[in-house]
Amino acid sequence: MTELESILERVRACRVCAESLPLGPRPILQLSRTATILIASQAPGSKAHASGIPFSDPSGDRLRQWMNISGEEFCDPGRIAILPIALCYPGRANAGGDAPPRPECAPLWREQLLEQLPGLRLTLLVGTYAQRHVLGEGAMTDRVYNFRSYLPDFFPLPHPSWRSRHWADRNPWFEADVLPALRAAIRGALGLR
Ligand code: SF4
């Protein structure tokens, strides 16, 4: 068994915050040592929890459209790793939407899993929680607007939930300036230019 297989086996058996997860533990991630792009997201949604496949929902459709890649490319762990800040679906928040990622998860698993990604060229920081975890406190919109200051290692993005449609309407520079640069960065990190 490789080190990565051993870590994944332990991750899949994890029940550390089981009592706080309304649907129980089901870590959802995609990882291979040859991946060059990491999608650092916040936590799986209920549809991904049901299917066991990361971003198998309308948010995933929107993210793939932003990245301009096919479903097949997106699901290829040899090229794209998907590692949320917390690995299991956290349930719904009282105010609507999903609850925040469980805080127990990243300190337990994140560094071990990142060590299994030696060839990373680009990390997409998808949503406020992922950006806060990696970059510290800051405003998501400002970070996305100033995406060039985080390259070549990081590319901050909004979370691609249905709310991002309204956010994109209010911030037309996202489609005009950010998405073309994102697509170029993706192609570069995949070795396609
Ligand atoms: S969210 Fe993370 S810490 Fe909690 S049960 Fe799932 S894998 Fe374990």
Neighbours of 193 (CB within 10 A): 9
Q: At what angle do helices 58-67 and 179-189 cross, to 10 degrees?
A: 80
93-120 confidence digits (pLDDT tens): 877 788 999 999 999 999 999 999 999 9
| C-alpha torsion angle, residues 50, 51, 56, 58 (rounded to 10) | -40
150-192 confidence digits (pLDDT tens): 999 999 999 998 888 899 999 999 999 999 999 999 999 999 8
Q: How far is the CA of 101 from the centre of ligand 1 (A)?
A: 10
Pocket of ligand 1 (CB under 6 A): 11, 14-18, 25, 27, 86-88, 102, 104-105, 108
Q: Which of 171, 106, 108, 170 is nearest to 145 (CA)?
A: 171
Q: How far is the CA of 179 from the centre of ligand 1 (A)?
A: 32
What pTM did the predictor assign?
Answer: 0.95
